[in-house]
Chains A and B, each alone.
Chain A
Amino acid sequence: MADVLERVTKIIVDRLGVDESQVTLEASFKEDLGADSLDVVELVMELEDEFDMEISDEDAENIGTVGDAVNYINSRK
């Protein structure tokens, strides 16, 4: 769990240029982390690469917060 969160956090910090402290499980990509819809698409792409999985468009639509992403990845492992 910690490992997934750490890796997800690193991607978010790199991609969105936010401070690590802002990346909490409750943080919404769009509302709290300043991502636009293209940023979210890119984040999903990077998560796919990082965790070597394919995330369908339907699943991607349900990933709105950092916690959603972490839970999704854990559920697929």
Chain B
Amino acid sequence: MSLAGKAALVTGASRGIGREIALELARQGANVAVNFSGSEAKANEVVEEIKNLGRDAFAIKCDVSNSEEVTEMVKAAIDRFGKLDILVNNAGITKDNLLMRMKEEDWDDVLNINLKGVFLCTKAVTRQMMKQRQGRIINIASIVGVSGNPGQANYVAAKAGVIGLTKTTAKELASRNITVNAVAPGFISTDMTDKLSEDVKQEMLKQIPLARFGDPKDVAQVTAFLASDSASYMTGQTLHIDGGMVM
């Protein structure tokens, strides 16, 4: 197990990709703080599954766009585990619409959770990781942050922002042995993408060279790799996990 004894915090870990990342980190040996904002019951299920693997875990409610709540969450994780080695910034929402019809509020909500949330969580863990002289931060971006996508101006802007933030944070923290990388998933089957119509799904499938949608596991395993010592010479990178959609 490549993450034996490590302590991790995964935001938005009650469902979808975040849930699978929390479980994969635990399978690799890590203890995990499972953050959620709304789905407490689902977060508790993830905690139970992790405990069944023999690792420590706890669920913690936090709105990642609220700096006070974020500070409390990070403190809770450090109190529980005595350290914090891995942060996975996964929490995200969508409020899709064509630019001309997009409400200012929908823009703000998506930017606050998907971009400001990454900034706040990263800032909050930095102190501990600098002291440890060791840390791994993995940001879940999106392939649309690289390629653009009609109907998702807010989401795309936030995810492109996350990629830029990843590079800057990587440069600022490299001297303290903290690596910061991003993964950019393509079309991954989750609750969030199940909402799309069959037509849209078929259209997307045509653009994927590997001719299938991804599974949350595909993202979780790459994330676990980036969190491991195997990836210690990589920082500031964005790995596309998209079946070859964007090259």
A contact residues vs B (CB 8 Å cutoff)? 36, 38, 42, 45
Quick one: closest A residue to B175, CB to CB? Answer: A38
Is there contact, CB below 8 Å, between B176 and A38?
yes
Residues of A within 8 A of B127 (CB): 45
Known: A42-B130, A45-B127, A45-B131. 6 other contacts (CB 8 A): A36-B175, A38-B130, A38-B172, A38-B175, A38-B176, A45-B130
Interface range on chain B (Cβ under 8 Å from partner): under 10
B residues less than 8 Å from A36 (CB atoms): 175
Interface of B, helix, strand, loop or mixed by DSSP? helix
Mask, B128-169, CB within 8 Å of A = 1, is 001100000000000000000000000000000000000000
A36 to B175, CA, bound (A): 11
CB-defined contacts of A45 to chain B, threshold 8 Å: 127, 130-131
Find chain A residues with CB under 8 A from B130 CB: 38, 42, 45
Between A and B, 9 residue pairs with Cβ closer than 8 Å are A36-B175, A38-B130, A38-B172, A38-B175, A38-B176, A42-B130, A45-B127, A45-B130, A45-B131
Q: How far is the CB of A41 from chain B (nearest CB, A)?
A: 8
- Min CB–CB distance A16 → chain B (angstroms): 13
**What is the minimal beta-carbon distance from B66 to any residue of chain A, in angstroms?**
19
Contacts of B176 in A (CB 8 A): 38
Roughly how many angstroms separate A5 CA and B176 CA in the complex, as a whole number?
26
Shortest beta-carbon distance from B68 to chain A in Å: 14
Closest 8 CB pairs of A and B: A45-B127, A42-B130, A38-B175, A38-B172, A38-B176, A45-B130, A45-B131, A36-B175
Docked pose: A15 CA to B131 CA in angstroms: 10
